[in-house]
Structures are given as structure tokens and as C-alpha cells.
Structure 1
Amino acid sequence: MPFAAHRSEASAAIRTDLGAIFVSLELSQSKWLITSLSPGGGEKMSKHAVATGDVTGMLALFGELNRKAEARTGERFPIIVIQEAGLDGFWIHRVLEAEGIESHVVDPASIATSRRRRRAKTDRIDGEALVRALLAHQRGEPRVCAMVRVPTPEEEDRRRLSRERQALTNERIRHVNRIKGLLFSQGVSGYEPLRRDRRVRLEECKTGDGRMLPAHLKAQIGRELDRLELLLEQIKAVEAARDAMLAATQVVSPAPTMLLTLKGIGPEFAAVLWSEGLSRHFDNRRQVAAYAGLAPTPWQSGSVDHDQGVSKSGNPRLRTTLIQMAWLWVRHQSHAALTLWFRDRVKKNGGRLKKTTIVALARKLLVALWKYVNAGVVIEGAVIKTA
């Protein structure tokens, strides 16, 4: 065999003793690409495709892989599967676990990729990269990738109320801005679509040149108000369901009630903090800050050593809520130790870098709240709401 061909074949092989069949799922809306590495198969990866959603076909393929490996080696091997967290959620992971198959869901941003300017990317390449990441993870290599802790169906469903409320609130803002924009183009300002008398005030509006609103414009705004009023009713229904969920959660954990006792934290903040972060288990405060994406990112090379700011690699909803809550914490908890720290830090900076400092306060506040709900450590100087 020519040396070049031998070298190419050797580089394609994975030289390791396999104790299982390693499989990656590259999921898309048209097909599922299944890449596998089996013992006794020349240690080369094989690839098969099934239609999207064809769970039966996928499981049949797993059975065929196992039969071929058993025919080659005389042994039966377990199957270990990896897939990226994404649009498909976690239902495939749950199907695999129900079938007794070991399954892992990986954070796709944690897998190392080529830094070339024009990086080759195909489903085939991605599937092989997932298998290699799974192999390294099973060998115990540290920091090779970050596996996602899959929530239970109950935990996943509990998050939907606060997320739906956020989506409805964003839609409400769009409708309000659209109505104000339509009126402003006619010289009308000061109209508030969220007031209870919005319909009456619309009839009283006049254009900047003294005319009544044109008929078609008024009809368009009326339809916008119809959609806005529907949104307001849906937001009320979601908030009622959220309050009922918080009340029912007291049986499982006192954490939501403990959060609600702190001045500056209302039902929405408590629901987001609990469902998105504090209901999980963390070993230390670094894990807490990293999960919210509030941990600093170092940049160190030779004589250069500085932080690039927060990583923003964690839960974006939790991070956004914490920064909002940090501003309210400074207002409502004016004598708390964390507020005094913030003001002293801003004063030393000459009143500058408030936004940077508020992010640091959000990180400290999250850690303090984690200690408060899990270990009962009272936040120094925090004001408790009166009954």
C-alpha cells in the first residue's frame, strides 16, 4: 500500500478501545443524520439518515448497529447517544432514556471548532465532531464539552408561565408603539393606549391641523386596540396562573415565599428566579454565577491579564431579570450591605461605570439569594416586607 494512502487511512481511524457503540444525532427539519462508531468496525464512523421524527426507524437502526457489532466481536455493547441542545428540545432524549439508552445533550457552543476564517461546516463534519466529543467526555477528559442538565417535564413546564408573560409583554409594547406612531404621524401626541378610557380619548383626538381622525386611520387603530385588549386579558390570565403556581410550590419548597418576603421582589421576579435558576442544584457560588452568564471572562496571555466582562453564556432570561432587579434593589433596599457596596464603588469611580457596576451587583445579589433560599443565610441589611 502506498505510504500516502496508508497515512490517510490511519488519520481517519480512531485508535481507542471501545466499550460501547457511540452515536451522534445531527437533527434538522428534513432529516436526522446518525453518525456511529462501533467496536470491531475498523474504528471508522458510519453514517445513516432517517426521516425527521422517525423514532421507530432510529431505534431500528440502533438495533442493527448492535447486531453487527455482536456478529463481529461476539459481545453485546451498550449504546451511548449525544445530541446538541436546540430547537427539538428534550423529547428525543426522554425517548432514548425510556428505551434504556444512555443519552447526553451537549451545549453546542462548548464544542471546540476550527478558528480558520472559512471553516468547513456540514452535517457530516458536525456529526463526527459530536462523536469525538462524546468519546472524550466518556474518557473523563475535563472541559472537553459542557453537557446540559436536562430538566424534568415538570420543571420545563413550570418555566412556561414567566416566558409566556414576557412574550405577551413584548407584543403589548409593539402594539402600543404602533398606535402611538400612527397618531404621531397625524400630529397627535399624549395618547396612552393602556388607559381604561382609551376608546373615549380616541374619539376626542384631532390631528395637528385641527381635523378629526380620518375614518380608515381610526378603524385601523380600533383594530389595534382590539388586539391590545386581548393581550391585556391574556397577561392577566397568565399572571393569575403564575400566582397559583407560586402558592402551590410552597408544598415542595419554601424558596418562592422566602423571595417574596424581600422588599423589591414581586411575584414575577420570584417566579423567574425560582423557575429559571434557584430551583436547580449548585455546588458553589461560581456555578451559580456561571449558570446566569454573570461570571467574568479572563483574558491572560504573557503580560496581558484582564477580564473581558461577563461571559453571557448562561441563562439569558435569568441574567436579564437579575440586572433589572439589581436596579430595583438599589432603590428599595437602600440600607442593605450590597447597596452600600454599589454606591461606594460608583463613588470611587467618580460616578462613572454605573452599568458595569450594576452587573457586578447582580452577580453578588444572585449568590446572596442562592445562599438565602438554600441555607437560610439572611442578606445583610435587607428589609423584609411587612404582612
Structure 2
Amino acid sequence: MQSAIPRPVQAAIYTDLGAIFVSMELSRSSWVITSLSRGAGEKMSRHSTAANDLPGLLELFAKLKGKTRARVGKDFPIIVIQEAGLDDYCIHRVLERDGVESHIVDPASILTSRRRRRAKTDRIDGETLVRTLLAYKRGEPRVCSMVKAPAPEEEDRRRVCRERRTLVAERVGHVNRIKGLLFAQGICDYEPLRRNRRARLEGLNTGDGRPLPPHLKAQIERELDRLECVLTQLGAVEAERDILIEPQKDSAPAPAAMLAQVKGIGPEIAALLWSEGLFRHFDNRRQVVAYAGLAPTPWQSGSVDREQGVSKTGNPRIRTTMIQLAWLWLRHQPASLPSCWFRERVRLNGGRVRKTAIVALARKLLIALWKYTTNSVVIEGVEMKVA
């Protein structure tokens, strides 16, 4: 039997914050706008605009404010939320420039149903984003993770290291392709990266003493043309990178230059660590570790208590670079405090946890380098490069 007692109204949609809450589902064809306004019967409304139609989006926001003013007799600000995507923060910057409070959320941080078959539509996603924004503005802890948009200058600065990584991958591909073509002809001692690659190619003979076939030779020459183009661009990108870490005269050293002064940290690692993450403001070391994806992820339930490893939810470039730096640190900084901690930890475990301990060393190094660049706290026992 149905109870005659009236059920309490669900508090999932709470609008006593004095604002119009809007979520945006962005795609390449259209934008789905879900809004929750005061005086609308606590119901969400949905609108659709053409993709990349920013004037139409701002016009829609003006209509929402006008309808709310007509119903309530009072103006309310608009608060917008959207998922982090491929729009490169352009919409976020346009909204903030027009005085609209905008938030970018990490979609992986939003709680969803754990059913095996979960319904997913733009309508459901839009309502979920609005409810997430409401909970975030109410001050509920850990409801989601908001993304802090970098400044255009900071965003442009990190393209140097990313482009270099792309060019290095292309260089490796061209070199391996040339070596593979020659290895099929019985030639194993050709190095495409040497300066005499053209002259060396002219004197090559196959394994059975024949000169290189004409079509194969022409193909390798075209590969060398592309390889030399990549090498030229790589040199230009590395010159731009060196400018980023160059110490300025008559001023305090830049954080990237401070990193490059530490023995074992080269110009590429110094520029990447600074441009990818250490330029940001972090309140504590837990935020630094979480941004790099090196935070531990425990699994505890009743009597079950085990560690799943690092979260891997942060910046993958910083995480892989710190693992590489940890191995280099053991070689170039053997007397430092982190290296001594690593050797003692491995010794106590019989030498079986080197790979696990190197991740812990990378986490400790990242925290130590963050303190070094922000507060000039030098790592104990570290060696600096000779000027």
C-alpha cells in the first residue's frame, strides 16, 4: 500500500545559491546546454546550439538571465561547467572575459553508476554535470576535481618539449626504417645519423657483393632527406628550449635554470619538469605527487588491505620523466640523501624491490625538486654542476 505521508522533496537539485547553473556538453556538431534557473519549478531545461557558435552561446545565456529576471524579479549570475576536452580552454577564456564564472572538471573524477550496463546520453551527462556543479558550489569535499586552466603563455611554453618529443620519435622511425631496409640486404654497419651518411651510402654493397639496387637506393635517399629535415627542426627546437633554461643576468635565476644546475639533470629534463608542472602553484606535497600521478592508491575493505600501486591519473610526461630521472639520480648523485635512502631500502628487502623502490624515489625527488624551485631548499648531499 502506498503511504499517505508526503515524501520529502529530493535535495539533488538545490538552487539556494543565488545563481543560474549551466552545463555544456561539447561535440564537433552541436553543443547541448543544460540549465537550472530560479523560479523554473526546479526543473532543468535543455538547449542546443551549433558547435563553435560562441556569439549564439552568449546570446542564450542572456536569454536565460532575462527569463529568470522576468520570473523572480532579480538578476542572477551564471555559473558554467564543462568537461576538459580538446577545445584548448578557448571557451573557458571567452566566458571569463565576458564576466561568466566558468569551471572545467576532470570527467574521470565524477562519480557514476557502477552497473554493468550504464545508460549514457547527452541529457544524462548534462544533468550530472549540473548536479556536480551544485555540490561543488555547496562546498562538498571530494565531489570532483576541477582543472586549473593555464595562462596562454604557460600553455605555449610547454609546446617546445612536446614538439621535441614528437621529432625524436620521428627520427627514431626514419633511422629504424633505413636500417631495416639495409639489413634485409645483408648490411648491418650503416649509421644514418653520422655526417658521412651520403658518402657511406654510395659505397655500400649487399651481402653477396652486389651494389645496392637502384630503387632501394632511391628510397633510402628519400628517407635520408626526411631524416635531415627532422634533424634540422630538432636543432631549432632545442635552441628554443635552451633559451627557456638560460639564466638571466642581474636577476634571480629562473626555476628551470635552477634545475639545470643540479648534476644529473640535463636541459631537456629541466625544461620539461618546469613547463609541464612545477610552474603551477601547489598548496602541499600531496598535490604535487597527485598531479604527477605518483600518489599511492590503497585498497582497504574490512580485513583486506593492499596497495594497488601509483594512481597514474596525473600528467604522464612528468611521471615518465621522473622515473627516468630516478635511475639517473642514483648514478650521478650517489651521496645524496634520496640515493642513500634507496640503497638502504633495497638492502633491507634483499634487493628484490628495486622497481618498486625506484617509483618511491621518483616521488621523493619530485617533492624535493618542488621545494628547491619554490623555496630554494637544497637537497641534502646534492652535487651542483661546475660553472
Segments of structure 2 that go 5 or more residues without pairing to the other structure are none
CA distance in 2 between counterparts of 1:210 and 1:111 reads: 66
- Structure 1 residue 346 displacement after superposition: 2.2
- Structure 1 residue 253 displacement after superposition: 5.7
- Whether the aligned pair in 1 keeps the contact of 2:14 and 2:134 (CA below 8 Å) is no
CA distance in 2 between counterparts of 1:337 and 1:326 reads: 13
Q: Deviations over 1:24-58 (max 9, x none)?
A: 11111111111111111111111111111100000
CA distance in 2 between counterparts of 1:155 and 1:249 reads: 18
- Structure 1 residue 208 displacement after superposition: 2.7
Match of 1:287 in 2: 287
Match of 2:316 in 1: 316
- Structure 1 residue 187 displacement after superposition: 2.2
CA distance in 1 between counterparts of 2:10 and 2:286 reads: 39
Match of 2:53 in 1: 54
CA distance in 2 between counterparts of 1:108 and 1:359 reads: 27
Match of 1:185 in 2: 184
Q: Secondary structure at the match of 1:22?
A: strand
Alignment of 1:1-387 (within 5 A): 14-247=13-246, 254-387=254-387
Q: Which amino acid aligns with 2:144?
A: C
Q: Please, which moves more after superposition, 293-302 or 249-258?
A: 249-258
Q: Which amino acid aligns with 2:77?
A: P
CA distance in 1 between counterparts of 2:109 and 2:253 reads: 32
Does the C-alpha gap of structure 1 residues 253 and 88 become closer, same or farther in structure 2, counting only changes over 3 Å?
farther
- Structure 1 residue 126 displacement after superposition: 1.4
Q: Secondary structure at the match of 1:69?
A: helix
Runs of 4+ in structure 1 off by over 6 angstroms are 10-13
Q: Deviations over 1:71-99 (max 9, x none)?
A: 11111110000111111111110000000
- Structure 1 residue 203 displacement after superposition: 2.1
Does the C-alpha gap of structure 1 residues 95 and 172 become closer, same or farther in structure 2, counting only changes over 3 Å?
same
Q: Which amino acid aligns with 1:316?
A: P
Does the C-alpha gap of structure 1 residues 59 and 180 become closer, same or farther in structure 2, counting only changes over 3 Å?
same
- Structure 1 residue 248 displacement after superposition: 7.0
Q: Secondary structure at the match of 2:368?
A: helix
Q: Secondary structure at the match of 1:247?
A: coil
Q: Which amino acid aligns with 2:185?
A: Q
- Structure 1 residue 106 displacement after superposition: 0.7
Q: Please, which moves more after superposition, 206-215 or 123-132?
A: 206-215
Q: Which amino acid aligns with 1:156?
A: E
CA distance in 1 between counterparts of 2:201 and 2:363 reads: 45
CA distance in 1 between counterparts of 2:151 and 2:62 reads: 27
CA distance in 1 between counterparts of 2:375 and 2:247 reads: 21
Q: Please, which moves more after superposition, 203-212 or 285-294?
A: 203-212
Q: TM-score, normalised by structure 2?
A: 0.94
Does the C-alpha gap of structure 1 residues 25 and 248 become closer, same or farther in structure 2, counting only changes over 3 Å?
farther
Does the C-alpha gap of structure 1 residues 155 and 248 become closer, same or farther in structure 2, counting only changes over 3 Å?
farther
Segments of structure 1 that go 5 or more residues without pairing to the other structure are none
Q: Please, which moves more after superposition, 337-346 or 59-68?
A: 337-346
Number of residues of Structure 1 aligned to a counterpart in Structure 2: 382
- Whether the aligned pair in 2 keeps the contact of 1:22 and 1:135 (CA below 8 Å) is yes
- Structure 1 residue 132 displacement after superposition: 0.9
Identity %: 68
